[in-house]
Amino acid sequence: MESKMKVQIRLATLSLLLTGVAHAQMTLTGRYSELRYDYVYGFGGDTHSANVPVTNSALLSQDTESHGYIGSDSGVWASMGWSAAVGIDLQNEYSVEGSLSDFSAIRSSGTIALSASKGGVGGAGIGGRNPGNQQFHYFTVPTATPYDFFGNLTFDPSGGSGFLALQVFDSIVWQNVRFTYSLPGAQGNFSWSGTLAPGSYRLYSEATANFIATNDVPSGSRSASYNSTLHIGTRCTGSIVLQDYVGVPRLVTFQIVQGATTETRTAMVDPNVGTYEIWTNLSGPVTVYAKGSTWLRQARSVANPGLNMANFTLKNGNCNGDSVIDLSDYTIVITAFNAVPVSANWDIRADLNGDGVVDLTDYTIVVTNFNAVED
């Protein structure tokens, strides 16, 4: 019995060595968004004021929040006319690549724009602050994992501020791992990379702005914005050719497969550049599949994901997106032949080369690759 157990243990160990390091699942555990603004405008008994919070903690794979206000008033006091006006617009959004229980990226952005003006004895002030435009995204890292954190923060120092940070919880308080206060002027472009130790983390994003109209400066506006992307895992790059295509950048879907584990990633590919960039939580031998909307899927075996991981040349002509270029694709092109986007028979799937017209070039692509099957 003991000998049999030893053999089983050795076989299990060998299996781990052959399939690589176990898949590390990054879990998004919480999310909080707040858009808050306050304003005061008018004169005397015609003064208007409010402090308005809009919050959301629903944990979704993507969401957009927006809120705004426009107000004005005018009147006469002591034979003198007065006026006052304010306006504000706030918006933030985020998206998760992958599932909430196994994500590879969090993308977050937010904007705030406001203005105020006054005339005569009127007064006007407005602010998006305390916190203004704020987002938190909480997640856990089970094993030491590489990351890339990049983006931009812009605000008007005379009437605003902002802060972006990757933070770790040390069991007492949140500590900064990377943060924009370290940038010149605490704003601008940033790009950081490193390795996250196992633990609880969060992305902190915030932008504020405010303006008070005065006799010296009776009108003005302020704005602030941020955007950031956090990629978890190993950065993988390579070249990719979208055959017979001259159009705008297109979305390509990648599947990284190791045993029973499959990760799905996407990347926008510019045909004029011909490169891709994705992230994976897998290591060791994998099979990588790449597929575009009208391009057949192609497979590549990779010893270990990373830079210059694999190069792809995708065959065009698969109009209906299945696994073979056949009569169905031919029919789609013939049905839309000579069509342009305003035509009644326009079908974007038939414009294989992306030049805005279905013509002999698209027909030739299908005929040349007829009966081709994907990997």
Beta strands in 100-157 (DSSP E): 102-119, 123-141, 145-155
CA distance 362 to 332: 10
* Structure tokens that stand for 349 in this block: 């799937």
* Cβ pair 126, 49 in contact under 8 A: no
CA distance 287 to 87: 53
What are the φ and ψ backbone dihedral angles of 201, each rounded to 5 degrees?
A: -130, 165
* Cβ pair 257, 286 in contact under 8 A: yes
What distance lies between CA 361 and its chain's CA centroid?
35
Determine what percent of the chain falls in helix, strand and coil, rounding each to the nearest 5.
15, 55, 30
* Cβ pair 225, 112 in contact under 8 A: yes
pLDDT tens by residue, the chain, 375 residues: 444 444 443 443 333 333 344 456 789 999 999 999 999 999 999 999 999 999 999 999 999 999 999 999 999 998 899 999 999 999 999 999 888 998 889 999 999 999 999 999 999 999 998 999 999 999 999 999 999 999 999 999 999 999 999 999 999 999 999 999 999 999 999 999 999 999 999 999 999 999 999 999 999 999 999 999 999 988 999 999 999 999 999 999 999 999 998 999 999 999 999 999 999 988 899 999 999 999 999 999 999 998 889 999 999 999 999 999 999 999 999 999 999 999 999 999 999 999 999 999 999 999 999 999 999
Domains defined for the chain, CATH in brackets: 27-232 (no CATH), 234-368 (2.60.40.4130)
Nearest to 243 by CA among 312, 309, 301, 308: 312
* Cβ pair 74, 64 in contact under 8 A: no
CB atoms within 10 A of CB 359: 18
Sole residue written with tokens 């968004």 = 33
CB neighbours of 4 closer than 8 A, spacing ≥ 6? Answer: none
Give the number of residues written for the chain. 375
* Cβ pair 241, 295 in contact under 8 A: no
| Helix (H/G/I), strand (E/B), else coil: 133 | strand
Nearest to 352 by CA among 250, 275, 283, 256: 250
pTM over 0.75? The answer is: yes
